[in-house]
Amino acid sequence: MNKLILLVCTALMVGCTANVKENLTESGLKRSNFQTEVNGEKTDLFVLTNKNKMEVCITNFGGRIVSVMVPDKDGTMKDVVLGFDSIQDYIKYPSDFGASIGRYANRINQGRFTLNGVEYQLPQNNYGHCLHGGPKGFQYRIFNAVQKSNQEVQLTYQAKDGEEGFPGNFQCTVTMKLTDDNAIDIRYEAETDKPTIVNMTNHSYFNLDGNPSKDNSSYLLTLNADHYTPVDSTFMTTGEIASVEGTPMDFRQPTAIGANINQDFAQLKNGNGIDHNWVLNTQGDVSKLCATLESPATGIVLDVYTNEPGIQIYCGNFLDGTLTGKKGIVYNFRTAVCLETQHYPDTPNKPEWPSAVLRPGEKYQSQCIYKFSVRK
């Protein structure tokens, strides 16, 4: 009898252990911390895995990448993006960590633009400008999510005409697919019933050491770009397209971020470091490499591909130790790098730049590929 009781207890313990394990992702996230309701809409955590045991966790709160587990040069799995352990933390600490940004990523001057002779006023949430679609942009909205397979999730959102001041009922789809060559392939599609503007991107903060207590100064950055768009002291593009030649903005060869970012250069002062858009040489060819970020410590390499004309590089210059992220780690100054594929900032007010206008009957299509590998 005692033996039977022991067997039953053991089975129950094994079952409980399995259930606990099932509820945790490889990155240590607890799925139940993401299963709640925000403004009456359900949120959840969606887990993608491939044959190499790479894992990407995504929540439909803001269409966010929450964690990315990739192997380093020793085969040890590292979580290489910043984020939080729960939906409540994402709400408590407003941020762009991992978010699908829309309707218009980056800045629009004074929050104003004119389209078809009509002037639109958007929120002015950043130095008098509209940043990342306003204070209630897509990063704070609940997407409808459908997990298509172990390697793909599809997120959809409909922004109403006038939402955050933008015209047109705007239906967008963000498809995130984890490929078997360790790439996150992100595709954005959108349609509208009135002329509008669109510029979507992903705002993941990458720490390729898998250790957010370390800063990004040793990371090697390479950009396939001969030019960039300078900014003024409010981070607004001036309209100039400037050569990187002979400046600290030249990353055409692998260069340690720390070697350039603190140089005595007006643009670095204006941007509080690196927070600029580069004009890509790739001309919309998604097969051409546009950017590479590498950690010499872990050997983890991130290659970026896009059909967009530009990429914003932001080096976490406004992280200041006031946010505590996953696993209780404090996010300090310049502890990550964002690589945001995009149309140039303030394009709606600069007609000489590639257009960001979307009209009825047209389909917006944008693609960003984050591909991971290791250099041993």
Q: Would residue 276 show up in a list of annotated catalytic residues for this protein? A: no
Query: With b meaning 16 or more CB within 10 Å and e meaning fewer, what string describes 283-299?
Result: eeebeebbbbbbbeebb
The closest of 80, 79, 83, 76 to 62, measured between CA atoms, is 83
340 is catalytic: yes
- 92 alpha-carbon distance from chain centroid: 19
Residues in the chain: 376
Sign of CA dihedral 103, 108, 111, 112: negative
Rounded distance, CA 64 to CA 83, Å?
Answer: 9
Query: How many CA atoms within 13 Å lie on the side-chain side of 116?
Result: 8
Catalytic residue among 55, 163, 294, 340: 340
Q: Who's near 49: CB < 8 A, 6+ residues apart?
A: 55, 56, 150, 151, 178
69 contacts 55 by C-beta, under 8 angstroms? yes
Of 203, 227, 276, 343, the active-site residue reads: 203
| Helix or strand holding residue 267 (H, E) | helix 266-270
| Catalytic residue set | 203, 340
